[in-house]
Structure 1
Amino acid sequence: MTASMPAAGGRDRAGPQEPGYQPDPQRWRALWVTLVAGFMSLLDVTIVAVALPTIQRDLHASAAQVQWVVSGYALSFALALVTAGRLGDALDRRRIFLLALSGFVVFSAACGAAPDITLLVVARLAQGLAAGFMAPQNSALIQQLFRGAERGRAFGFFGATVGISSAVGPLTGGTILALASGAQGWRWIFYVNVPIGVVAVLLGRRLLPRARRPGRGSGHRRGRVDLPGVVLLGLGVLALMYPLVQADSGGLGRLWWLFPVGVVLLAAFTQWQRRLVTRGAQPLLDPRLFTTVRGYAIGACVGTLYFIGFSGVWLVFALFYQHGLGYSPLRSGLAVTPFAVGSASAAVIAGRLVERYGRTLTVCGLTGVLVGLGGTALLLRCAPLGTAPWAAAPLLLLGGVGSGFVVSPNITMTLRDVPVHMAGAAGGALQTGQRLGAAVGTAALPGLFYVTLGRNGHYPAALFTAIGAALVGMAASLALAAYDWRRDRTPGQP
């Protein structure tokens, strides 16, 4: 028999004293180990962007080749997530996490030592694969180690990690380049992961809980990994993402036909998963997550739509500040620091409030992001360029606070009712949606920026247009969150 799913509408509000749950005395220390590792893996999505011109000059690479340093990492990261989550559920989350973290450290060193662009891209692909295997274990371990209000706090720290790592990438990369001067200073962007990762591996071996085999009455079994599902899902995600990561070299025009292929493959994957459930076998991603776990489907869509705008915005700001205003990478990163500060502070607070206010936090947060980023774009469009970036700091701070109230509560609301034995696959699917959204945003928004710039040569107008497009995705995310909020407040709603 397959595992039973919770009834729709049921909320997991069990406290730490629920029957059968024994709090791990090392759980908070273990959490910090996973958060440090998660921070490194997510930071590497954005930190490299500011170093691309330096890498291109030092390795004598073409623009298309150097773009793969960023896009290749994002692609292999996304391809691994769901499969890695299911492997963690089926085998041993601790072992998968430590192996993936060790691989991430090794491949980070390989990136830093790469003598040419080909080996750098290969190392980045491997590094992204390791990060993809590590990421879903983070949320799954939170599900495993925490209950009730503690789980909300833990997801609050996790949400802060996601938000901060994405927002501070440009600043961190710019700082490292400023400190490690010289043509090969970019290598330290990768080397910095090595000592931190080694310490995290050693602490993880000591603090992370060892796997317990489920008993006969547990209602689920570990089972085999669904290999046909792995192939169908992997090819489907690849078909959707490959044109996006090739966008800078005309991939959208040349490879548009992969989008319908990807849709067909994902439809076949969904049908295959349903067939496995009907036969009583273990699917890679149980379709009932989207139909019987209340809030999971909407939460996954909210996250995907939000990351379309959230991820692409930072590339647009970097283009505006560095190319339009002539800022250095460090100064460009400092200009958007208020957003990161607001996001970090609010995410931790939101983790403590989510059990009480629920989806209300997400609705308020998305409203804050829309006002903050929209106001920033309008100010930079209309105000004198000499003073506008610093005058925009309060608006960016507001947007950051809003973002902190989006990412952390949405993760908590989406995953808190997921059965623990399916937490890895569920977390992997949630993050796959976020990576797909990020791929769309990082391809579409800079492209729109350049199209607008080519028409009028005006950087503020190009920024305003690109940020406006990002806000459309965020507004759609707000509409879904508001629907879920109203449904929670209406008695008798399914």
Structure 2
Amino acid sequence: MAGDKARESGAAAGASGPSGPSGPLVTDEAPDPRRWKALAVCLVAGFMTLLDVSIVNVALPSIREGLRAPVSDIQWVLSGYALAFGLFLIPAGRLGDARGRRPVFMVGLALFTLSSAACGAAQSSLWLVIARLVQGFAGGTVTPQISALIQQMFAGRERARAFGMFGTVVGVSMAVGPLLGGLIIQLAGADEGWRWVFYVNLPLGVVCLLLARRLLPDTPSAGRVSLHDLDPVGVLLLGSGVLALLLPFVQSQEWHSDVKWLLLLVAAAVLTAFVKWESRCRSGATQPVLNMSLFHVRSFWLGCLLILLYFGGFTTIFFITTLYLQSGLHYSALEAGLAITPFAVGSGGAAGIGGRLVNRFGRPLVVVGLVMVTVGLAATALAVHLVPGRAAGWAMAAPLLLAGLGSGLVITPNQTLTLAEVPVPMAGSAGGTLQTGQRVGSAIGIAAVGSVFFAQVVPEGWATAYDHGLVVSVAFVLAALVVAVADVIAGRRAGHHRTSLPGT
């Protein structure tokens, strides 16, 4: 407990002093009075980058017609962004820790804004795919800086509240994407409306850049770094391993040969080599891109595993629900987005509450949230059966609201608990690791749920396909529930179970 309090006190000071093996040394430095304004800048930037994961879904038919794009290019408009986003999270987090989070945040945001403009101006599908890859890399650069800056600027109850607000952004951005995309296309027209899905980022990006320079704090532990200091071998091994792991999943609908699954063996070998290399770096002059000692902290590695499994079920809800409503029940893009809105409302509202309650209840709060999500998804499947036809969208509103409320009690508290014992100088790479787990989970979940969903569409119809897809989604959520319960039990057996976070 004393070590936890020391870590928390050091976090409050922004890690301005040197750090030991258990975290930064304690200082008495006062918190930054501009921290809440700085947080607002971070949250807007986070909303932009995460929104672009889901908002493009409803624009794909317009993009395909407007650019006369082949199906393979349309697939890469989606998967290319997710792949590039996931590849750069951990290296970007390490770069922010070493070079400074504010400059890395600003470079990433500037690149994201410019690439959004390039996406909107695309004259061919190849142009759009390349611009989306750049946009994904930029989003992967910005996102880990946000969680690291929260770690740096806040401590105790304030940190939980800040993570609660960030969790609201994560949940709402994923859920509101289809609605916002459908609304933009409705207003701008089917022919050119898809371009405004990207152009909407431009004014937000410019304003955030101007405010970031004024409001975001420096990183006290940062300094001049050389290429050698950034562990280029580790970055190459990690990037290759994550690429080999994600590629067969994001291309599962386009790459029909079973040969693609051999890449999983390649990924296992490369990532094993990465772990060995990083362990060797700890005893040498090179600073590792990911300090493997983080995984000695139970709350960290269990939290990363939990969120990987949860995102495998969480993100697939929007994927199959949008397909079912638009293709099966012939909803418009706007109507489909409105039908999913209850989940977004529930998730956004509960995330703030979860951020406040996590200090009091700890991991059991996550267990409650996962149970609510499971019940909500099961009730959604039942509603589709009891109210067939176009009225199904109304029938699933209440169950999706319950699932959304549960989701708000999962994402935010888990992020707070997972990063609570991470030393602030490692906050960027730790946050990047957590976000990478989300991206890997999303890719695996969409591939697994999508394969089951599409296998049932032709012989049984859309409603049955939706049921089967939800079963797989619930299976991922239940697996996350098992991890959460295991963490609670392990904590109690070890005598370290706490009903409040360290330092509160």
**2:490 pairs with one of 480, 487, 491:** 487
Q: What is the SS of the residue equivalent to 1:261?
A: helix
User: 1:21/1:302 Cα in 2 relative to 1: closer, same or farther (>3 Å)?
Assistant: farther
Contact kept in structure 1, 2:97 and 2:221, CA below 8 Å: no
> C-alpha offsets along residues 31-69 of structure 1, whole Å, 9 cap, x if unaligned?
010110011000000100111111001101111111111
TM-score, scaled relative to structure 1 = 0.94
Partner of 2:122: 114
Give the deviation of 1:280 after TM superposition.
Answer: 5.9
Give the deviation of 1:446 after TM superposition.
Answer: 2.1
* Structure 1 residue 459 corresponds to structure 2 residue 467: no
Alignment of 1:126-141 (within 5 A): 126-141=134-149
Q: What is the SS of the residue equivalent to 2:324?
A: helix
* Counterpart Cα distance in 2 of 1:382 and 1:61: 39
Residue 248 of structure 2 aligns with an amino acid whose one-letter code is P
Partner of 1:208: 216
Alignment of 1:248-267 (within 5 A): 248-251=253-256, 253-267=258-272
Contact kept in structure 1, 2:12 and 2:153, CA below 8 Å: no
Q: What is the SS of the residue equivalent to 1:257?
A: helix
Partner of 2:230: 225
Partner of 1:468: 471
Residue 90 of structure 1 aligns with an amino acid whose one-letter code is A
Give the deviation of 1:100 after TM superposition.
Answer: 0.4
Partner of 1:351: 355
* Counterpart Cα distance in 2 of 1:12 and 1:353: 21
Partner of 2:71: 63
Identity %: 49
User: 1:229/1:7 Cα in 2 relative to 1: closer, same or farther (>3 Å)?
Assistant: farther
Q: What is the SS of the residue equivalent to 2:389?
A: coil
User: 1:443/1:355 Cα in 2 relative to 1: closer, same or farther (>3 Å)?
Assistant: same
How many residue pairs get matched?
A: 482
Partner of 1:99: 107
* Counterpart Cα distance in 2 of 1:474 and 1:242: 23
* Structure 1 residue 401 corresponds to structure 2 residue 405: yes
Contact kept in structure 2, 1:90 and 1:223, CA below 8 Å: no
* Structure 1 residue 22 corresponds to structure 2 residue 2: no
> C-alpha offsets along residues 314-348 of structure 1, whole Å, 9 cap, x if unaligned?
11001100011000010001001111000000001
Deviates more, 1:254-263 or 1:148-157: 254-263
TM-score, scaled relative to structure 2 = 0.92
**1:429 pairs with one of 427, 433, 438:** 433
Partner of 2:167: 159
Residue 258 of structure 1 aligns with an amino acid whose one-letter code is L
Q: What is the SS of the residue equivalent to 1:395?
A: helix
Unaligned runs of 5+ in 1: 1-5, 216-220
User: 1:406/1:252 Cα in 2 relative to 1: closer, same or farther (>3 Å)?
Assistant: farther
User: 1:47/1:184 Cα in 2 relative to 1: closer, same or farther (>3 Å)?
Assistant: same
* Counterpart Cα distance in 2 of 1:364 and 1:272: 39
Give the deviation of 1:281 after TM superposition.
Answer: 4.0
**1:276 pairs with one of 281, 300, 305:** 281
Partner of 1:334: 338
* Structure 1 residue 75 corresponds to structure 2 residue 78: no
Q: What is the SS of the residue equivalent to 2:133?
A: helix
**2:414 pairs with one of 396, 410, 414:** 410
* Counterpart Cα distance in 2 of 1:65 and 1:213: 43
Give the deviation of 1:447 after TM superposition.
Answer: 2.2
The CA RMSD measured in Å over matched residues stands at: 2.1
User: 1:411/1:213 Cα in 2 relative to 1: closer, same or farther (>3 Å)?
Assistant: closer
Give the deviation of 1:16 after TM superposition.
Answer: 5.4
Give the deviation of 1:452 after TM superposition.
Answer: 1.0
Give the deviation of 1:373 after TM superposition.
Answer: 1.0
Partner of 1:3: none
Partner of 2:41: 33
Unaligned runs of 5+ in 2: 14-25, 498-504
